[in-house]
Amino acid sequence: MLLLRRCHSLTGFGPLNTQRHQVAPAVRSYAVRLWSSSSSDDQRSYQGTHGPSWRHGLAGLLAGTGAVLAYGFHQHKAERAESRVQTIEKTSSLPVYSQEEVTKHRSLEDGVWVTYKGGVYDITKFVAMHPGGDKILLAAGGALEPFWALYAVHNQEHVLEILSEYKVGELSAEDQKKQQALKSSDPYSSDPERHPVLRINNLKPFNAEPPPEILSDSYITPSAIFFKRNHLPVPRVDLASYRLHVEGLPGGELTLSLEDLKTRFPKHTITATLQCAGNRRSEMNKVKQVKGLNWGIAAISNATWSGAKLRDVLLAAGYGPDVAKWARHVQFEGLDKDVTGTTYGASIPLNKAVSEEGDVLLAYEMNGEELPADHGFPVRVVVPGTVGARNVKWLGKIIVSAEESSSHWQQNDYKGFSPGTDWDTVDFKSAPAIQELAHSVRHHHTGRRRCG
């Protein structure tokens, strides 16, 4: 089996409907490669060979969350793309609309209008034909910039050319000034500084690995060079207001501050290796092109983690034999979110979470110090032996449930398929979510060792 990381069929407003593969023939002409958390500067093209249709590809870009379309041709600079659109806008003699008029067009019945850099675009037909249209509607009547800012992928000439075909007018000068004043800042502007030695696979969101020769210098990976795999902007968390919510158990919701975690539950320390499911994907790509970030061999690191056992917290929240009769999963939600408030989420099997030997931690320390911002401050889940995607950072909520997490990253990503998979017809929900990874190891502070 090849571990293939699914193209994040996301919009800036949440995951695209996975049924988009039913319309893949329209984009198959350029073998569109979609994946989450990508930027135009950092991606590798996924090349194709057939006809000229590429309109469906605009969906991810209109949505703005990292559905990057790499066509294997036209690697133009962003400046040239912007210049092209500005030229089109200057030479047009289209009507001028107020923001109030644009806002009236927020449905298929009334038309779907959006604005971008002072232009007004009627994308009704595009939304109507695309299976992810309901997500794109979240931008209806407003500006695309806040959504596109979340992922730095929109400055591509072919995308802007397609958008220009839907242009119907100009936004009034007065409303353009207001829009500029209210323009959202870069959502990644508050991300922490990173060590310059890291090899960056993607800038926004940040994904990077240490050079192998440095990784192998120490059994414990220093936090500064520990591989970093983010899906969204790093959240800024106020400790004074931070609360961890535990739900789904008979005792009702349990709410804990960081101080509660530290004082109400015994502190446990383990040494555990975390690994991204895409580690060594660059080697896979030499055999057959797969999807996802082009990680080298170092999307894997080892650290000492300290915190409260998840098992202890669940017991305090009311877990017992009766719950085990119906519950099957423990879901986690992070505090990192996109522009619509959709948070990163994942889940693990209940038996792993409550096992005395599962060693699942709600960690608040890494290598003997407070968790760094990039690694989940103030609390993250550490699930030894399990793929990094389930080790949710910036933990905000824990839910005991009969169902897996409904998160895109649980249902439509981090899945394993055979090398012969047809990406135009594959049903991502048909494969189980990756949990355990071979060769992951963990060590108790007592010195016991077992494979994950």
CA distances to 243, 297, 298 from 275, in Å: 28, 10, 9
CA 33 to chain centre: 16
Q: Of 361, 415, 369, 417, which Cα lies nearest the Cα of 391?
A: 361
Indicate if 158 belongs to the active site: no
Tell me 334's DSSP state: E
As a dihedral over the C-alpha atoms of residue 208, residue 212, residue 216, residue 221, rounded to 10 degrees, the angle is -10
229 in catalytic set: yes
Is 130 catalytic? The answer is yes
21, 56, 130, 268: which one is catalytic?
Answer: 130
Question: Is 154 among the catalytic positions?
Answer: yes
- Is 414 tagged catalytic? yes
- What does the alpha-carbon distance between residue 168 and residue 116 come to, in Å, rounded to a whole number? 12
Q: Could you tell me whether strands 343-349 and 329-337 are parallel, antiparallel, or unpaired per DSSP bridges?
A: antiparallel
| Of 354, 377, 399, residue with least CA distance to 258 | 377
The whole-angstrom separation of Cα 252 and Cα 257 is 17
For the chain, the C-alpha Rg in angstroms (whole number) is 23
Give the active site residue among 8, 20, 56, 229: 229
Q: Give me the torsion for CA of 366, 367, 369, 374, rounded to 10°.
A: -40
* Whole-Å CA distances, 234 to 206, 308, 444: 9, 23, 29
- Helix (H/G/I), strand (E/B), else coil: 347: strand
Give the CB-side neighbour count of residue 197, counting CA atoms within 13 A.
13
- CA gap 452, 445 in Å, rounded: 16
Q: Which of 374, 408, 316, 332 is nearest to 132 (CA)?
A: 408
Q: CB under 8 Å to 166, separation ≥6 — which residues?
A: 121, 122, 123, 125, 126
Active-site residue (options: 151, 188, 414, 442): 414
Q: Are 332 and 381 in contact (CB under 8 A)?
A: yes
Please identify which of the residues 154, 268, 281, 380 carries the catalytic annotation.
154
Q: What does the block give as tokens for 16?
A: 């695209």
Nearest to 373 by CA among 233, 277, 208, 259: 233
Half-sphere exposure of 104 (CA within 13 A, CB side): 5
Identified catalytic residue from 276, 281, 344, 442? 276
Which two structure tokens, joined as six digits, stand for 263?
Answer: 């004082």
DSSP-derived 3-state class of residue 376: coil
Active site residue ranges:
130, 154, 229, 276, 414
